[in-house]
Amino acid sequence: MATTADIKNGMCIEYNGKTFSIVEFQHVKPGKGPAFVRTKLKNLENGRVIDNTFTAGEKIELVRVERRPYQFLYDDDMGSNFMHTETFEQIVIQKDLIHNADLMGEGQVVEVMFHTEKDVVLSAELPAVVDMEVEYTEPGIKGDTASTNSLKPATMNTGAIVRVPLFIKTGEKIRVDTRNREYYERIK
Protein backbone atom coordinates (compact mmCIF):
# COMPACT_ATOMS: atom_id res chain seq x y z
CA MET A 1 0.00 0.00 0.00
CA ALA A 2 1.15 3.51 -0.79
CA THR A 3 -0.26 6.98 -0.26
CA THR A 4 -0.83 9.92 -2.57
CA ALA A 5 2.57 11.30 -1.48
CA ASP A 6 4.22 8.42 -3.39
CA ILE A 7 2.50 9.19 -6.74
CA LYS A 8 4.80 9.45 -9.77
CA ASN A 9 4.14 9.71 -13.52
CA GLY A 10 3.91 6.27 -15.14
CA MET A 11 3.02 4.50 -11.87
CA CYS A 12 0.30 1.87 -12.16
CA ILE A 13 -2.48 1.69 -9.57
CA GLU A 14 -5.67 -0.26 -8.93
CA TYR A 15 -8.66 2.10 -8.79
CA ASN A 16 -12.35 1.06 -8.76
CA GLY A 17 -11.34 -2.49 -9.66
CA LYS A 18 -9.48 -1.45 -12.82
CA THR A 19 -5.79 -0.92 -13.61
CA PHE A 20 -4.74 2.67 -14.35
CA SER A 21 -1.47 4.38 -15.22
CA ILE A 22 -0.83 7.88 -13.86
CA VAL A 23 -0.34 10.22 -16.82
CA GLU A 24 0.17 13.37 -14.76
CA PHE A 25 -0.47 14.63 -11.26
CA GLN A 26 -0.41 17.85 -9.25
CA HIS A 27 -0.33 18.30 -5.48
CA VAL A 28 -2.64 21.20 -4.53
CA LYS A 29 -2.74 22.95 -1.16
CA PRO A 30 -5.53 25.54 -1.28
CA GLY A 31 -5.60 28.35 1.25
CA LYS A 32 -8.84 27.00 2.66
CA GLY A 33 -9.64 23.32 3.11
CA PRO A 34 -7.56 20.15 2.98
CA ALA A 35 -4.78 19.43 0.45
CA PHE A 36 -5.53 17.13 -2.49
CA VAL A 37 -3.87 15.52 -5.50
CA ARG A 38 -5.34 16.18 -8.95
CA THR A 39 -4.50 13.36 -11.41
CA LYS A 40 -5.06 12.18 -14.98
CA LEU A 41 -5.41 8.41 -15.06
CA LYS A 42 -5.19 6.24 -18.19
CA ASN A 43 -7.23 3.05 -18.10
CA LEU A 44 -4.88 0.32 -19.31
CA GLU A 45 -7.75 -1.93 -20.41
CA ASN A 46 -9.42 0.47 -22.85
CA GLY A 47 -7.02 3.46 -23.13
CA ARG A 48 -9.45 6.11 -21.85
CA VAL A 49 -8.02 8.99 -19.81
CA ILE A 50 -10.02 10.26 -16.83
CA ASP A 51 -9.50 13.07 -14.33
CA ASN A 52 -9.58 12.13 -10.66
CA THR A 53 -8.93 13.91 -7.38
CA PHE A 54 -7.51 12.11 -4.33
CA THR A 55 -7.41 13.69 -0.86
CA ALA A 56 -3.87 14.12 0.48
CA GLY A 57 -2.64 11.06 2.35
CA GLU A 58 -5.27 8.73 0.84
CA LYS A 59 -4.10 5.14 0.46
CA ILE A 60 -3.72 3.82 -3.09
CA GLU A 61 -3.06 0.26 -4.21
CA LEU A 62 0.01 -0.14 -6.43
CA VAL A 63 0.02 -2.65 -9.27
CA ARG A 64 3.20 -4.35 -10.40
CA VAL A 65 3.53 -4.32 -14.16
CA GLU A 66 6.23 -5.82 -16.32
CA ARG A 67 7.25 -4.77 -19.80
CA ARG A 68 8.40 -7.57 -22.09
CA PRO A 69 9.69 -7.40 -25.71
CA TYR A 70 7.57 -9.32 -28.22
CA GLN A 71 7.93 -9.60 -31.98
CA PHE A 72 4.84 -9.31 -34.20
CA LEU A 73 4.33 -12.43 -36.34
CA TYR A 74 0.93 -12.26 -38.08
CA ASP A 75 -2.79 -11.45 -37.71
CA ASP A 76 -5.59 -14.02 -37.70
CA ASP A 77 -9.24 -14.17 -36.59
CA MET A 78 -8.17 -14.54 -32.91
CA GLY A 79 -6.08 -11.33 -32.90
CA SER A 80 -2.41 -10.46 -33.39
CA ASN A 81 0.17 -13.18 -32.77
CA PHE A 82 3.44 -12.27 -31.02
CA MET A 83 6.57 -14.16 -29.98
CA HIS A 84 8.74 -13.29 -26.94
CA THR A 85 12.17 -12.34 -28.28
CA GLU A 86 14.09 -14.33 -25.62
CA THR A 87 11.90 -17.29 -24.61
CA PHE A 88 10.14 -17.76 -28.00
CA GLU A 89 6.79 -18.10 -26.16
CA GLN A 90 3.87 -17.15 -28.43
CA ILE A 91 0.80 -15.18 -27.35
CA VAL A 92 -2.28 -13.67 -29.01
CA ILE A 93 -3.23 -10.05 -28.22
CA GLN A 94 -6.54 -8.43 -29.16
CA LYS A 95 -6.21 -5.54 -31.65
CA ASP A 96 -7.87 -3.02 -29.30
CA LEU A 97 -5.01 -3.45 -26.77
CA ILE A 98 -2.40 -2.38 -29.36
CA HIS A 99 -1.92 1.36 -29.79
CA ASN A 100 -1.76 2.23 -33.54
CA ALA A 101 -1.88 -1.43 -34.61
CA ASP A 102 -2.12 -0.53 -38.32
CA LEU A 103 1.41 0.96 -38.17
CA MET A 104 2.82 -2.42 -37.06
CA GLY A 105 4.66 -4.37 -39.75
CA GLU A 106 5.71 -8.01 -39.82
CA GLY A 107 8.71 -8.59 -37.53
CA GLN A 108 8.12 -5.34 -35.60
CA VAL A 109 9.24 -5.54 -31.95
CA VAL A 110 6.74 -4.05 -29.48
CA GLU A 111 6.73 -3.63 -25.72
CA VAL A 112 3.91 -5.62 -24.09
CA MET A 113 2.81 -4.58 -20.60
CA PHE A 114 1.70 -7.41 -18.30
CA HIS A 115 -0.10 -7.30 -14.94
CA THR A 116 2.40 -9.44 -12.99
CA GLU A 117 0.00 -10.91 -10.40
CA LYS A 118 -2.74 -11.86 -12.88
CA ASP A 119 -0.32 -12.45 -15.81
CA VAL A 120 -2.74 -10.59 -18.11
CA VAL A 121 -1.79 -8.40 -21.08
CA LEU A 122 -2.67 -4.76 -20.36
CA SER A 123 -1.38 -3.09 -23.54
CA ALA A 124 1.18 -3.23 -26.34
CA GLU A 125 3.14 -0.18 -27.47
CA LEU A 126 5.12 0.34 -30.64
CA PRO A 127 8.48 2.15 -30.52
CA ALA A 128 8.38 5.95 -30.86
CA VAL A 129 9.22 5.77 -34.60
CA VAL A 130 8.82 2.92 -37.09
CA ASP A 131 10.26 2.45 -40.58
CA MET A 132 7.69 1.91 -43.32
CA GLU A 133 7.52 1.77 -47.09
CA VAL A 134 5.16 3.97 -49.10
CA GLU A 135 2.99 1.61 -51.14
CA TYR A 136 1.05 4.32 -52.96
CA THR A 137 0.81 8.10 -53.04
CA GLU A 138 -0.21 10.62 -55.67
CA PRO A 139 2.77 12.21 -57.41
CA GLY A 140 3.56 15.75 -56.26
CA ILE A 141 3.62 18.41 -58.98
CA LYS A 142 6.46 20.92 -58.85
CA GLY A 143 5.17 24.38 -57.99
CA ASP A 144 1.86 22.92 -56.77
CA THR A 145 1.91 24.77 -53.47
CA ALA A 146 2.65 28.16 -52.03
CA SER A 147 3.34 26.66 -48.61
CA THR A 148 6.47 24.65 -47.75
CA ASN A 149 4.71 22.25 -45.38
CA SER A 150 1.89 20.90 -47.56
CA LEU A 151 0.99 17.26 -46.99
CA LYS A 152 -0.69 14.53 -49.05
CA PRO A 153 -2.09 11.12 -48.00
CA ALA A 154 0.11 8.05 -48.53
CA THR A 155 -0.80 4.38 -48.07
CA MET A 156 1.91 2.43 -46.25
CA ASN A 157 2.87 -1.24 -46.76
CA THR A 158 0.77 -2.14 -43.68
CA GLY A 159 -2.35 -0.44 -45.05
CA ALA A 160 -2.10 2.59 -42.74
CA ILE A 161 -2.67 6.03 -44.23
CA VAL A 162 -0.16 8.71 -43.19
CA ARG A 163 0.09 12.32 -44.36
CA VAL A 164 3.49 12.94 -45.99
CA PRO A 165 5.22 15.91 -47.69
CA LEU A 166 4.72 16.41 -51.44
CA PHE A 167 8.26 15.26 -52.35
CA ILE A 168 7.68 11.67 -51.09
CA LYS A 169 7.17 9.15 -53.92
CA THR A 170 5.75 5.61 -54.13
CA GLY A 171 8.35 3.02 -53.07
CA GLU A 172 10.33 5.29 -50.74
CA LYS A 173 11.04 4.33 -47.14
CA ILE A 174 10.05 6.77 -44.41
CA ARG A 175 9.94 6.94 -40.62
CA VAL A 176 6.57 7.52 -38.95
CA ASP A 177 6.07 8.82 -35.40
CA THR A 178 3.72 6.31 -33.73
CA ARG A 179 2.61 8.70 -30.99
CA ASN A 180 0.89 11.15 -33.35
CA ARG A 181 0.88 9.15 -36.65
CA GLU A 182 2.87 11.83 -38.48
CA TYR A 183 5.70 11.74 -41.00
CA TYR A 184 9.05 11.92 -39.17
CA GLU A 185 11.75 11.71 -41.89
CA ARG A 186 12.77 10.05 -45.13
CA ILE A 187 15.22 7.14 -44.93
CA LYS A 188 18.10 7.48 -47.36
Q: What is the pLDDT of residues 11-39, one digit of tens each?
A: 999 999 899 999 999 999 998 899 999 99
pLDDT at 134: 93
Cα 147 to Cα 160: distance, rounded to the nearest angstrom: 25
- Looking at the fold, whether 84 and 34 belong to one and the same domain comes out as no
- Looking at the fold, whether 134 and 181 belong to one and the same domain comes out as yes
- Looking at the fold, whether 94 and 112 belong to one and the same domain comes out as yes
What is the amino acid identity at position 59? Answer: K
- Looking at the fold, whether 72 and 118 belong to one and the same domain comes out as yes
- Looking at the fold, whether 112 and 69 belong to one and the same domain comes out as yes
- Looking at the fold, whether 106 and 158 belong to one and the same domain comes out as no
Percent of the chain residues topping a pLDDT of 70: 95
The pTM of the full predicted model, rounded to 2 decimals, is 0.77
Helix residue ranges, H only, the chain: none
Q: Between vectors from CA 112 to CA 131 and to CA 21, what angle results, nearest 5°?
A: 110
If one counts the domains in the chain, the total is 3
**Domain CATH code at residue 24:** 2.30.30.30
**Domain CATH code at residue 172:** 2.40.50.140
Cα 54 to Cα 22: distance, rounded to the nearest angstrom: 12
The parent domain of residue 7 ranges over 2-62
